[in-house]
């Protein structure tokens, strides 16, 4: 019986680590695939030595893309929001299950790690939305 508890613990810890790895990888992938944020656009403009007219054209084209992306994803935004809410509930439920395995000192540390991970995820979602991601209602880079 004790052996099966250890296997269950290892499985849960493995699932937690795998979920965290997938979340970090997804966050980084979305950052790279999203439209250039203001700093990236500024760096690109410097490296390409864009004129003021070229920069204005870039800004206009990227703003048009953000508008098109918002329109493209608007019909499925409620489903995306629902999936996000379900994912958050699953994450919190898993956290509580894992926490029961830990001693009180470990629980405090684990809660802190969990809160930091939630904060990073919320920041990533906000960045994605503000950069014209699916269903974005944000102003887009440089317009904040």
- 45-103 pLDDT, tens digit each: 999 999 999 999 999 999 999 899 989 989 998 998 899 899 989 999 999 999 999 99
Token couple for 5? 């508890």
What does the domain layout of the chain look like in residue ranges? 2-130
* Share of residues in the chain with pLDDT > 70 (%): 67
pTM (predicted TM-score): 0.48
- What is the Cα–Cα distance from 96 to 16, expressed in whole angstroms? 12
Residue 22's pLDDT is 60
Q: Name the pLDDT band for 130 (thresholds 50, 70, 90).
A: low
Question: Which among 29, 60, 30 has a CA at the least distance from the CA of 134?
Answer: 30
The helix-helix angle for 2-33 and 77-99 (nearest 10°) equals 150
Burial track 124-143 (b if 16+ CB lie within 10 A, e otherwise): beebbebbbbbbbebebbee
Residue 102's pLDDT is 95
Mean predicted lDDT score pLDDT of the chain? 78
């Amino acid at each position: 019986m004790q052996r099966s508890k250890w296997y269950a613990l290892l499985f849960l810890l493995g699932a937690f680590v795998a979920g965290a790895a997938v979340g970090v990888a997804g966050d980084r992938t979305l950052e790279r695939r999203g439209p250039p944020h203001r700093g990236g656009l500024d760096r690109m403009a410097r490296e390409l030595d864009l004129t003021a007219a070229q920069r204005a054209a870039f800004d206009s084209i990227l703003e048009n893309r953000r508008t098109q992306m918002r329109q493209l994803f608007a019909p499925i935004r409620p489903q995306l929001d629902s999936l996000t809410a379900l994912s958050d509930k699953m994450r919190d439920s898993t956290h509580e299950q894992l926490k029961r395995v830990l001693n009180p000192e470990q629980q405090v540390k684990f809660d802190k790690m969990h809160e930091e991970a939630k904060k990073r995820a919320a920041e990533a979602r906000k960045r994605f939305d503000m950069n014209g991601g699916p269903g974005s209602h944000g102003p887009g880079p440089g317009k904040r």
